[in-house]
A and B are shown apart, each in its own frame.
Chain A
Amino acid sequence: MAILKRLLSGLARTREKFVGSLRSLLAGRQLDAALLDDLEEILIQADFGVAATMRICDDLQAAHRDKRIARGEDVIEFLKAELVTYWPESDRSVHFADSPPTVVMMTGINGTGKTTSVAKLAYRFKQEGRKVCLAAADTYRAAAVQQLTIWADRIGVDIVTGGGNDAASVVFDACDAAIARKADVLIVDTAGRMHTQDNLMRELTKVRDVAAKKIPGAPHEVLLVLDATTGQNAIDQARAFAKAIDVSGIFLAKLDGTAKGGIVVAIRHEVDLPVKFVGLGETYEDVEPFDPDSFVEALFA
């Protein structure tokens, strides 16, 4: 049990380190091997993954060699600047259709928070003065339709449910309803599915194709909902979903814990998906557009 004890005290140290603000740790230090080691630890613990961490540390070293940065303080600014180039502003905005309705499809594996994220987007779009309609196309999980219906009631938006039909037919009806009711945005909630299940991934493609047939250019956004606590497996998820249905961006849910969601950086390197929104709590108001600046700040908080 000696190892366990050491481990625990080690973890306690890490925590202190985090609490004791890394900003001050970086301040006044030379950019040397020890600092890079510390930085590596931060990035790995934020789920950046080994490859992305190495790349960032290499970039830092290169910048140091070229005398672009010298001191520890510069590291944060450097990271901010670098991450902003990863996700240019244009990339992070929602693409609305030229003529409504805009169709937004929410996808992801089980338990990432799709249904809640649908509610958040619905609220946000409604606040922006758009008429929103929801499609409850998660016909698999028990009571998922009820869950979304409750959200729709609370937010005060329309919802189309299929009454036990399959997802594709719910979306078919929802597209009709969105057009008939002159909705600006149709948000489609889909069932959670493991990215490793080919048949379920194909079902998703079918749902998309139904939307595309009913409304030209749809879906205008396909958002992959990722749990911010997810580790390196998120890369596989992103890759599989991107392959199956051309994901256009990420909704990073549950960023209100202690998780840093650094995995989105790893994903940016591997699959090139922009992060468009972050979810920060359990109510429908808890949603923000993704901002690389505060993302970097949070890493060092």
Chain B
Amino acid sequence: MFESLTEKFTGVFRRLSGRGRISEDNVHDAMREVRQALLEADVHYQVAREFCDKVTAKALGTDVIQSLHPGQLMVKIVQDELTELMGPVDARIYYVTPGPTIVMMTGLQGSGKTTTCAKLAQLMLTEGKKPLMVACDLQRPAAVDQLTVLGGQLDVAVFRIEGETNPVKVARQSLRAARDDDCDVIIIDTAGRLHIDEEMMKQAEDIASAVQPHQIYLVCDSMTGQDAVNSAKEFNERLELDGVILTKFDSDARGGAALSVKAVTGKPIKFIGVSEKLDGLEAFHPDRMAGRILGMGDVVSLVEKAQAHFDEEQAVKLQEKMAKGAFTLTDFLDQMRKMQKMGPMKDLLKLMPGMSGQMDAMQMDGDELKRMEAVILSMTPAEREDPTVLEASRRRRIARGSGAEPQDVSGLVKQFTQASHMMKQMAGLGGRDRMKFAQQMAQMGAGGNVRYKVKQRSKRLTKKERAKRKKGRR
């Protein structure tokens, strides 16, 4: 994959820094890296080019060359510009009074309109509104059923007309149903359509003019490539969009489509869809997105995720424990469980700067954590507090209890001791240094294979090695 832009920039500037002055050429070199990063993140070709031209001009104007850390300054300019281009974001839903507020969803096939309708309805429920979902996708077989099932899961009413083939009619009649039912919001699900399909685009226009929606959202797959601009532009011209919802954001897509769509339509990205579950709709954050497009990780989201699952008081206590070296296996288990609650390890690591490229090397999957958990749970409380008491017979017992091998138990204890030692060091550092330390550790993990292995089998030693080892023990 792709190292962080900062490193690339530093490289570009370092190459020439020995030769006296850094020149305009260096800035251009750096911008070539930016352009490549943008293109690899699926930012549209023209958008990337315009963006780079603008940043180059700005960089040359702000004396990047004279600054002490041209690499860092360049990154900052690039990131700021990206953020500005994608923002500002207003992730509120506007409700009209008197209601009902009419929201229409539109987009290409398979972008996730129906699921997003339900997610939006769920969000409105939490805001104390009473939504009505309207099944106007009469194209795809069983799309109406899908919306009905989702409505049932949310306990939200779904308006459908059996056997009707004209979505305009369904949309129009839903207004009355909403009034009769005292609904605050109407969410209209429409059929997926190609932006070049004249007949279908006309149909969308007809639905819009029949019900006069207050908000029209384009649902856009965050994995879309260069073609995103073509469709977004057309939808915007025909329907005058109010905002964009980016879906399937839980993939590892870098989401350059977001930037392109915003640049071309000028319409804000309001929400991102992050899971198959119906509460998976979040507000869009341009600054985080900028980091993601540039392959620089998303620390803010990581911290937020962590905050949602760790309570602060506990964290402080834990840190004190770590600093004193009094971190026990019980704490370790507790931490592990909380981490698991935050989501798959891989997703979390992806958010760390500089780690996105190292995913394969760090195959920390849920199963491994579960095996670790089993081992710890087979220990007595006393053993968890002080693992040094574990001699061979205790290890055998624990291994039997957890379905592991005795050497797995010692492996875990060894890893734990190492980890708590590192934590002790880390707890003593300030925030910035700690980040650095974590990154170093991560790199060690990827290269040096420090990662925890339950199934670590000792390799067969040669005679010489065995002799050496014996000597060492004495």
Residues on A close to B: CB < 8 A? 3-4, 6-8, 10-11, 14, 41, 44-47, 49-50, 109-113, 140-144, 146-147, 149-151, 194-199, 227, 229-234, 236, 254, 256-260, 263, 282
Contacts of A112 in B (CB 8 A): 110
- B137-162 vs A: 1/0 string, CB under 8 Å? 00111110111111001000000000
Q: Write 20 A-B pairs (CB below 8 A) sorted by A numbering.
A: A10-B46, A11-B229, A41-B45, A50-B40, A109-B223, A142-B146, A142-B150, A142-B153, A143-B145, A144-B142, A146-B145, A147-B143, A196-B251, A198-B365, A229-B228, A230-B225, A231-B257, A258-B195, A259-B227, A282-B109
Task: Kindly provide the distance from the CB of A92 to the nearest chain B CB, expressed in whole angstroms.
Answer: 23
Say yes or no: A231-B226 contact (C-beta < 8 A), given A111-B248, A143-B142.
Answer: yes
Residues of B within 8 A of A256 (CB): 194
Q: How many residues of B are in contact with the other chain, CB < 8 A?
A: 61
Residues A231 and B50 in contact, CB atoms below 8 Å apart = no
**Does B177 make an interface contact (CB < 8 A)?**
no
**Is there contact, CB below 8 Å, between B264 and A11?**
yes
CA A263 to CA B228, docked complex, whole Å: 14
Q: A8-B264, A198-B366 are in contact. Are A44 and B194 (CB under 8 A)?
A: no
- Chain A residues, Cβ within 8 Å of B110: 110-113, 227, 254
> Which 4 pairs across A and B sit closest by C-beta, in order of nearness?
A231-B225, A111-B110, A231-B42, A142-B149
Which of B44, B140, B251, B346 is within 8 Å of A147, CB to CB?
B140
- Whether B112 contacts A110 by the Cβ 8 Å rule is yes
Contact A111 B231 (CB under 8 A): no
Q: Which residue of B lies closest to A46 (CB)?
A: B226
Q: With the chains together, A146 CA to B148 CA distance in Å? A: 12
Write out the residue numbers on chain B whose beta carbons fall within 8 Å of the beta carbon of A45: 44-45, 226
Interface pair A47/B227, CB less than 8 Å apart? yes
A32 to chain B, nearest CB (A): 20
Alpha-carbon distance A43/B112, docked complex (angstroms): 28
- B420 at interface by CB-CB < 8 Å: no
| Chain B minimum-CB-distance residue to A44 | B45
A233-B141 in contact (CB<8A)? no
Chain A residues contacting B228 (CB-CB under 8 Å) are 229, 231
Q: Which residues of A contact B34 (CB under 8 A)?
A: none
B237 to chain A, nearest CB (A): 11
Verify B250–A196 contact, CB threshold 8 A.
yes
B54 contacts the other chain (CB 8 A):
yes
Shortest Cβ gap from B391 to chain A (Å): 36
Residues on the A chain within 8 Å of B149, using CB = 142-143
B181 contacts the other chain (Cβ, under 8 Å)?
A: no
CA distance A191 to B276 in the complex (A): 12
**Judging by beta carbons under 8 Å apart, are A229 and B39 in contact?**
no
Bound: A142/B252 CA distance, A: 24
Which B residues lie within 8 Å of A143 (CB)? Answer: 142-143, 145-146, 148-149
Instruction: Taking A10-B46, A110-B112 as given, write out 12 further A-B residue pairs in contact, using a Cβ cutoff of 8 Å, ordered by the A residue number.
Output: A4-B263, A6-B50, A14-B46, A143-B142, A194-B248, A198-B365, A230-B224, A231-B228, A231-B253, A233-B42, A257-B227, A263-B225
| A7 contacts B50, C-beta separation under 8 Å | yes
Residues on the B chain within 8 Å of A109, using CB: 223, 248, 251
Task: Say if the beta carbon of B82 comes within 8 Å of chain A.
Answer: no
B226→A44 contact, CB < 8 A: yes
Per a CB cutoff under 8 Å, which of A8, A49, A231 touches B224? A231
For A8, what are the chain B residues with a Cβ–Cβ distance below 8 Å?
Answer: 264
Give the distance in Å from the alpha carbon of A110 to the alpha carbon of B251 in the complex: 10
Interface pair B224/A3, CB less than 8 Å apart: no
What is B's interface to A at a CB cutoff of 8 Å?
A: 36, 39-42, 44-47, 49-50, 54, 108-112, 139-143, 145-150, 153, 194-196, 221, 223-231, 233, 247-248, 250-254, 256-257, 263-264, 266, 276, 344, 346-347, 365-366
Residue of A nearest to B43 (CB): A231
Most buried by B among A3, A113, A197, A232: A232
- Check B143–A229 contact: CB distance below 8 A: no
User: Which of A47, A147, A197 interacts with B142 by CB under 8 Å?
Assistant: A147
Interchain CA distance A112-B112 in the complex, whole Å: 10
Rounded to whole angstroms, the CA-CA distance of A113 and B112 in the bound complex is 11
Question: Measured between C-beta atoms, what is the minimum distance from A25 to chain B in Å?
Answer: 16
Query: Across the interface, which residues of A come within 8 angstroms of B42, CB to CB?
Result: 47, 231-233
Bound: A263/B39 CA distance, A = 13
- Residue numbers in B under 8 Å from A236 (CB-CB): 251-252
What residues of B have a CB within 8 angstroms of the CB of A44 in the complex?
39, 45, 226
- What are the residues of chain A within 8 A of B223 when measuring CB–CB? 109, 227, 230-231, 233-234
For the complex, give the distance between the alpha carbons of A257 and B108 in Å: 10
The answer to whether A258 touches B142 (Cβ under 8 A) is: no
B254: chain A residues within 8 A (beta carbon) = 232-233
Minimum C-beta distance from A140 to chain B (A): 8
Q: Would A147 and B141 count as touching, CB distance under 8 A?
A: yes
Asked if residues A10 and B227 are in contact (CB atoms below 8 Å), the reply is no
Residues of chain A lying within 8 A (CB to CB) of residue B39: 44, 49-50
Least distance between A68 CB and chain B CB atoms (Å) = 28
Contacts of A229 in B (CB 8 A): 108, 221, 224-225, 227-228, 231
Query: Residue on A with the closest CB to B359?
Result: A196
Complex: how many Å from CA A153 to CA B232? Answer: 35
**Shortest CB distance A244–B (Å):** 13
What's the Cα separation between A3 and B346 when bound, in Å?
38
* Nearest CB on A from B453, distance (A): 17
Report B-chain residues with C-beta under 8 Å of the C-beta of A258: 195-196, 227, 230-231
Residue among A111, A142, A199, A259 making CB contact with B366, cutoff 8 Å: A199
Closest to A153 in B: B141
Q: Say yes or no: A47-B46 contact (C-beta < 8 A), given A194-B250, A198-B365, A254-B110.
A: no
Cα A109 to Cα B253 with chains together (Å): 12
List A contacts of B195 (CB < 8 A). Answer: 257-258
Nearest chain B CB to A47 CB, angstrom units: 4
Q: Is the CB of A232 within 8 A of B264?
A: no
* Cα of A254 to Cα of B197 in the assembled complex, Å: 13
* Cβ contacts under 8 Å, B108 to chain A: 229, 254, 257
A50 to B42, CA, bound (A): 10
What is the CA–CA distance of A140 and B148 in the complex, to the nearest angstrom?
15
Kindly provide the distance from the CB of B40 to the nearest chain A CB, expressed in whole angstroms. 5
Q: How far is the CB of B208 from chain A (nearest CB, A)?
A: 21
Which of B149, B226, B276 has the largest number of chain A CB atoms within 10 A?
Answer: B226
